[in-house]
Amino acid sequence: MSPFEEVKSKVVAAVRQLTHDGYLSTTGGNLSVRVPGQNALAITPSNFDYLKMTPADICVLQFDLNPLEEPHKPSVESAMHAAIYQARGDVNAVIHTHQVYPSTLAIINAPIPALFDEQVRFLGRSVEIIPYAPSGTPMLKNNIARHVKNHHNAFMMANHGALLLGHNLERAMHNVALLEKCALAYLLSLCAEKKASKVPLWVREVAFAKLRKDQQKVERGDFETGGE
């Protein structure tokens, strides 16, 4: 049996759930988790139907992309995932989706301001848009590695999709759903052509300080819960 069986099973369970919930479809997007205690990640294979995926199909790569287990070609965004884990010691799961509402806001270049306190608490002060670069290129990887240093956990990728980070896989999955809600609400407010109100600045700062505190705890290795 693979020494990575547990993390690979987690990846498969997550992609099934996200496919069931409509956030992933067929082969679009990709998902990874950090292998505990190693400079390595378990990631979905490239161009492989999520509903047919089993733990034996999941790739395990070191952060320099050297394969530890490579039953298939790994996701073309593997370098992007590895760069995020290297830039952010608090991140243990990364989900890239092509979910519709954040993708729409990214097309019209509309970053999401602080609309809800739970948004700031888990996603960050705002949801920024990462400039376009073609999939799987060093340019995209470098754009993303630069942006994630702002400690936010949600991003929209211009003309592409969304990117969600979490201190564990459950939180990253919750962040997928939270971003979808925020993106839909903001898109509807833009369609209504009314000014969208934001949470007060002090609420934004208090909520973001809580997220930063969690991240610092994860980096110190003493935080395992799924948050509030």
| Of residues 45 and 161, the one with the C-beta less far from Zn ion | 161
DSSP 51: G
Match 């980070």 to its residue by tokens.
165
Q: How far is the CB of 162 from Zn ion (least distance, A)?
A: 9
| Of residues 85 and 116, the one with the C-beta less far from Zn ion | 85
Residue 192 class from Cβ within 10 Å (0-12 exposed, 13-18 middle, 19+ buried)? exposed
| Of residues 55 and 161, the one with the C-beta less far from Zn ion | 161
Q: How far is the CB of 200 from Zn ion (least distance, A)?
A: 35
Q: Return d(Cα 150, Cα 127) in angstroms, integer.
A: 11
What is the rounded end-to-end Cα distance, in angstroms, of the chain?
35
Size (the chain), residues: 228
Q: Return d(Cα 15, Cα 10) in angstroms, integer.
A: 9
Token couple for 228: 């509030």
| Of residues 27 and 62, the one with the C-beta less far from Zn ion | 27
Q: Contact letters (x/-) for Zn ion, 13-42, by CB under 5 A?
A: ------------------------------
Q: Which residue is nearest to Zn ion (CB)?
A: 161
| Of residues 23 and 208, the one with the C-beta less far from Zn ion | 23
Cβ proximity of 23 and 176 under 8 Å: yes
Cβ proximity of 209 and 126 under 8 Å: no
Q: Contact letters (x/-) for Zn ion, 105-144, by CB under 5 A?
A: ----------------------------------------
φ, ψ of residue 31 in degrees (nearest 5): -145, 140
Q: How far is the CB of 121 from Zn ion (least distance, A)?
A: 27
Selected range binding Zn ion among 52-60, 62-70, 102-110, 161-169, rule: CB under 5 A? 161-169
Q: How far is the CB of 129 from Zn ion (least distance, A)?
A: 15
Residues in contact with Zn ion by the rule CB under 5 A: 161
